[in-house]
A and B are shown apart, each in its own frame.
Chain A
Amino acid sequence: MPLTQIRAFHRPDHIEGVWHLLQEGPEVRLVGGGSELAIRCPSEVRVLVDLAYLGLDRIELADDGSITLGAMVTLTDMLEHPELRALPSGVIQEMMVHVGSPLLRNAASIGGHLARGWLSDVIPVLLVLDASVELYDGEYRTTTLDRYYRDGIHNGLHILTAVTIPPASNGRAAAFLRFSRSAYDHALANAACLVDIEEGRVGTARIALSAGFRAAARQPASESQLVGSGFTDENITAAVSALEIDAHSDWLASADYRSHLARTLVGRCLHLARERAGGGS
């Protein structure tokens, strides 16, 4: 049944035009790729604004090696892009083959996916890759993806226009793991990590996890258990113990089981990353 509440479908070709429409209020929603709106449209929505005509569908490589994805780049584009596949441990590909199915990845845009701010397998991976996002709210601004969620920016009025992944240094290893009821299902919990090993010690360590419906978050307390130390079993155990897990009970799983899963996944990710880094301890 058509969404008869929708009165208009706009297709602006410049960002100011989108911003102008968006400021009209909660009755205006952005359409980026395959749309959750088509199946779960809030009743107040009256106007749809398509972002397809802004030229946001490009993947650009900067001289410093960073990669910028326009908001309308599809998840399939990301999966297939050679520079993204070359990121540490092939972690983008490792993660992306589990995101939905080709039918969803072919239509879903990275901007739309991140702006939802829900449980996602993409978010923890981009968090450990230290991605930043470009927003437009009358002017362009940039923030880290971590702050985008941690500070609630994703809930504010804005247009997410691009994602930038900084260059990867050599010697980094990453891993992603998820846990779900079946192969084609939302994760009950997921985790990603990225580590640098310098002279036998952990230089950089980034850990992100989610154990519920909210977007993943970085784990600074856990990361600090590793940085500057040897990548030993003991330190991995300490990092897992230091996780701050915001799990809740629902009909899918209990909070204690989700917490257990999250700890298990982080521990396994760290062991996997150490293996990929060539031992290290």
Chain B
Amino acid sequence: MIIRFQLDGSSMETDVEPGTSLLEALRGLGATSVKDGCSHGDCGTCAVLLDGRAVAACLLFAAQVDGSSIETVAGMAGEEGLHPLQSALLDAGAVQCGFCTPGILLTALELLKNNPDPDEVEVRQALAGNLCRCTGYVKIIEGVLLGADRLAGAEGGS
């Protein structure tokens, strides 16, 4: 079946089998920043923003996003360079192997859109479904809080 959606601002049209998951469809389209860590809805590496909401792409059929807008980490950095949240995670040392990083960035991005000044508890609640085995999460929390500060600073300055 033919489905159409926006992928990081570009119009996509693709022919998928009706049983194809959104994760498979995206990776098949070359959107390999969306990772497959478990195909089971447990790890959060396949998180994308679906109409602004972070969802696990492995738990959706591609057909369900017909007409929707999908954002991945590949669309986060602008022409001026890394998104402040990307820089913040790197500066905080929150990226080790980096396999969970795209999902964490997108889930945290949704948090900061809805709640620009989260506390540590809110960061933990938001990222409850994003597993990381390398960092022990300490620097991920620091990185998201740092990113929130920088985004707030950028808004204040403009």
Contacts and interface: CB of A to CB of B under 8 A. Distances in A.
Contacts of B19: 2-6, 9, 41, 48
Nearest to B18: A9
A104 B54 contact: no
A106 B61 CA distance: 15
A62 interface: no
Interface size class of A (residues with CB under 8 A): 20 to 34
Interface in B64-108: 64, 66, 107
Contact of A103 (B1, B24, B44): B44
B20 interface: yes
B40 A39 contact: yes
Interface in A93-140: 97, 100-104, 106-107
B21 to A, nearest CB: 5
A35 interface: yes
A-side binding surface: helix, strand, loop or mixed? loop
Interface stretch (B7-15, B123-131, B139-147, B150-158): B123-131
B60 A35 contact: yes
A38 B21 contact: yes
Interface string A1-15: 111111111010000
Interface in A12-54: 31, 34-39, 41, 48, 50, 52
Given A36-B59, A48-B61, 11 more contacts: A2-B24, A9-B18, A31-B64, A34-B41, A35-B60, A39-B58, A100-B128, A101-B129, A101-B130, A103-B54, A103-B129
